[in-house]
């Protein structure tokens, strides 16, 4: 079993502290279409920080943590929660579903993981998700353009946040809560009734539904996230910002409209949590050793054949939130290169390398062909994508079970060759390599 030492991370921490008293901000994001293994890497890195802030997305996310065989899937609670000394914060950019949030808290309390409520805080500015937003999300999926959403109300919630009708957690305690609910429902009910032919939702039933959450969430309220972050950094605390989804699900730079409804790249951590980019020391990008996507939308590297099925079975590629089978293919390097640029990624965590064991040949997309010309960037334009052909490079496979290896030099030569090609192509150091689902299944090559 691999044992993680993390001396390199320790030393980077120490060096940064010698240079400045202010703590470090690290941002972690997914570099592809989500499910890259972010939860596992956050759980691991949380050992080295004081706070973990989940900065965007909602319960559309499913972050899996495995510790000595015990598996937990988190949708809203930050993946640092397994570390009792780490404070976890649900940030202002999060779509907070109070039902799912409460269920998660109760499960973690019952499992003796949350022992002290002071370990968790929820920003008063986090968007509060209401059942009507889920109803609308699901109704929209019956429309002509199906996005393949998780049905968790994410699109309607962010829409309401941006149109300034949506509720935030702090509104639960506002004197005019009823007026705020009324204001939202007046418009949404028109859509429900007259566009989708569904029954309207009454203000009094929403208020009744919200009532128990007032006391349940009172102990977790955080009034001013930017102030809290600044004060913690100022006294030398280190903060890890946990992203959800992945670069090409980003509303602005993903495969629009087949995207989620929040900004998923590193800059979003600053924008939603209220701190500046100059506080950021590391931007960790998480990518799988192959590609997956769940939901509709273009996926250039997709292998809709036996290879895709082999990857799905080997990697157990079924959604952590919806259980849907994930679409699979070989790694897509031009796309990852673009994701690295969009995030300003400084270090890479390459997960699920073990899944490739047993393949005679491993392939990687290294270029695209479009109208007889080569393209080396990911053209998120759907029209271009329709006519894009991936160009592959082939690598020798390996057969060994690599989950037992804790150091890089013990990996089979073919596995190292593959990792080094990825590192050279992306021009970013592969600092962590996932060799199995467990927290300890990791090779730390240094930051």
Cβ-closest position to ligand IMO: 295
* Binding partner at 355 among ligand IMO, Mg ion, ligand GDP, none, C-beta below 5 to 8 Å by kind: ligand GDP
- Exactly one of 35, 124, 281, 332 is catalytic; which is it? 35
Rounded to a whole number of angstroms, the minimum distance from the CB of residue 37 to ligand GDP is: 3
- C-alpha angle with apex 433: 432 to 436, nearest 5 degrees? 130
Q: Report CA-CA distances (Å) from 422 to 353, 415, 419.
A: 12, 11, 5
Rounded to a whole number of angstroms, the minimum distance from the CB of residue 42 to ligand GDP is: 8
Residue 160 binding ligand GDP, by CB under 6 A: no
CB neighbours of 341 closer than 8 A, spacing ≥ 6? Answer: none
Query: From the list 22, 38, 75, 134, which residue makes contact with ligand GDP (rule: CB under 6 A)?
Result: 38
Token code pair at residue 198: 């569904």
Of 35 and 354, nearer to Mg ion (C-beta) is 35
* Binding partner at 9 among ligand IMO, ligand GDP, Mg ion, none, C-beta below 5 to 8 Å by kind: none
Rounded to a whole number of angstroms, the minimum distance from the CB of residue 138 to Mg ion is: 20
3-state secondary structure of 28: strand
Select from 43-51, 138-146, 200-208, 352-360 the region that touches ligand GDP (CB under 6 A).
Answer: 352-360
Residues 289-348 that bind ligand GDP (CB under 6 A): 320
Chain-centroid distance of CA 289 in Å reads 17
Query: From the list 66, 114, 184, 422, which residue makes contact with ligand GDP (rule: CB under 6 A)?
Result: 66
Select from 35-43, 197-205, 225-233, 258-266 the region that touches ligand GDP (CB under 6 A).
Answer: 35-43
Query: From the list 152, 434, 439, 447, which residue makes contact with ligand GDP (rule: CB under 6 A)?
Result: 434
Select from 137-145, 159-167, 189-197, 430-438 the region that touches ligand GDP (CB under 6 A).
Answer: 430-438
The answer to whether 239 touches 281, Cβ cutoff 8 Å, is no
Rounded Cα distance, 256 and 263, in Å: 12
124 is catalytic: no
Rounded Cα distance, 70 and 80, in Å: 15
Rounded to a whole number of angstroms, the minimum distance from the CB of residue 321 to ligand GDP is: 8
Residue 444 binding ligand GDP, by CB under 6 A: no
- In the chain, % helix, strand, coil (3-state, to 5) comes to 40, 20, 40
Residues that bind Mg ion (CB under 5 A): 35, 62, 320
Rounded Cα distance, 216 and 226, in Å: 24
Rounded to a whole number of angstroms, the minimum distance from the CB of residue 367 to Mg ion is: 28
Of 33 and 241, nearer to ligand IMO (C-beta) is 33
Rounded Cα distance, 148 and 169, in Å: 27
* Binding partner at 351 among Mg ion, ligand IMO, ligand GDP, none, C-beta below 5 to 8 Å by kind: ligand GDP
Rounded Cα distance, 113 and 94, in Å: 22
Residues that bind ligand IMO (CB under 6 A): 30, 33-35, 57, 60-63, 147-150, 152, 154-155, 244-246, 249, 260-261, 294-295, 320
Of 237 and 322, nearer to ligand GDP (C-beta) is 322
What is the bridge-based pairing of β-strands 280-288 and 25-30?
Answer: parallel
Tokens 């006294």 belong to which residue? Answer: 235
Element spanning 349, H or E: strand 347-351
Query: Which of 178, 240, 166, 335 minimizes the C-alpha distance to 9?
Result: 240
CA atoms within 13 A on the CB side of 387: 7
Rounded to a whole number of angstroms, the minimum distance from the CB of residue 206 to ligand GDP is: 30
Rounded to a whole number of angstroms, the minimum distance from the CB of residue 326 to ligand GDP is: 9
Rounded Cα distance, 167 and 165, in Å: 7
Residue 30 binding ligand GDP, by CB under 6 A: yes
Longest dimension (CA), the chain: 66
Helix axes 203-217, 131-140, angle to 10 degrees: 120
CB neighbours of 217 closer than 8 A, spacing ≥ 6? Answer: 98, 101, 102, 122, 169, 172
Cβ-closest position to ligand GDP: 434
DSSP letters of 357-391?
A: TT-SEEEEEEEEEETTEEE-S----HHHHHTEEEE
Q: Which residues pair with 93 in a beta bridge?
A: none
- Exactly one of 43, 63, 137, 354 is catalytic; which is it? 63
Binding residues with ligand GDP: total (CB under 6 A): 23
35 is catalytic: yes
* Binding partner at 437 among Mg ion, ligand IMO, ligand GDP, none, C-beta below 5 to 8 Å by kind: ligand GDP
Q: Known catalytic residues?
A: 35, 63
Binding residues vs ligand GDP (CB under 6 A): 30, 34-40, 61-64, 66, 320, 351-352, 354-355, 434-437, 441
């Amino acid at each position: 079993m691999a044992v993680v030492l993390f001396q390199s991370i320790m030393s980077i921490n120490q060096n940064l502290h010698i240079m400045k008293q202010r703590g470090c901000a690290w941002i972690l994001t997914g570099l592809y279409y989500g499910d890259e293994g972010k939860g596992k890497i956050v759980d691991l890195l949380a050992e080295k920080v004081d706070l973990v802030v989940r900065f965007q997305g909602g319960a559309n996310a499913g972050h899996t943590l495995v510790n000595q065989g015990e598996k937990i899937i988190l949708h809203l609670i930050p993946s640092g929660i397994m570390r009792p000394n780490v404070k976890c914060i649900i940030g202002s950019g999060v779509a907070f579903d109070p039902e799912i949030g409460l269920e998660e808290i109760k499960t973690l309390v019952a499992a003796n993981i949350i022992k002290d409520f002071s370990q968790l805080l929820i920003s008063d500015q986090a968007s509060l998700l209401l059942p009507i937003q889920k109803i609308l999300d699901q109704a929209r999926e019956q429309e002509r353009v199906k996005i393949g959403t998780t049905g968790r109300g994410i699109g309607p919630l962010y829409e309401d946040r941006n149109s300034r009708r949506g509720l935030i957690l702090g509104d639960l305690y506002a004197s005019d809560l009823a007026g705020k609910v009324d204001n939202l429902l007046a418009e949404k009910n028109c859509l429900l009734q007259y566009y989708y032919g569904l029954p309207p939702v009454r203000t009094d039933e929403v208020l009744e539904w919200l009532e128990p959450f007032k006391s349940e969430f009172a102990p977790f309220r955080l009034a001013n996230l930017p102030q809290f972050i600044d004060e913690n950094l100022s006294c030398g605390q280190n903060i890890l910002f946990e992203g959800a989804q992945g670069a090409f699900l980003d509303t602005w730079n993903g495969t629009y409209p087949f995207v989620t409804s929040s900004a998923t790249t590193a800059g979003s951590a600053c924008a939603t949590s209220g701190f500046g980019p100059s506080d950021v020391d590391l931007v960790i990008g998480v990518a799988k050793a192959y590609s997956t996507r769940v939901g509709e939308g273009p996926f250039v590297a997709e292998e809709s054949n036996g290879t895709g099925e082999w990857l799905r079975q080997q990697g157990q590629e079924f959604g952590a939130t919806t259980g849907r089978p994930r679409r699979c293919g070989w790694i897509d390097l031009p796309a990852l290169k673009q994701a690295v640029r969009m995030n300003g990624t400084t270090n890479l965590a390459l997960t699920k390398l073990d899944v490739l064991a047993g393949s005679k040949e491993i392939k990687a997309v290294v270029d695209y062909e479009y109208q007889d010309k080569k393209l080396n960037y990911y053209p998120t334009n759907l029209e271009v994508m329709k006519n894009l052909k991936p160009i592959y490079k082939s690598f020798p496979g390996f057969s060994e079970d690599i989950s037992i290896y804790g150091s890089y030099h013990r990996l089979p030569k073919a596995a190292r060759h593959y990792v080094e090609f990825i590192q050279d192509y992306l021009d970013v150091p592969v600092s962590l390599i996932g060799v199995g689902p467990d927290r300890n299944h990791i090779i730390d090559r240094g930051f």
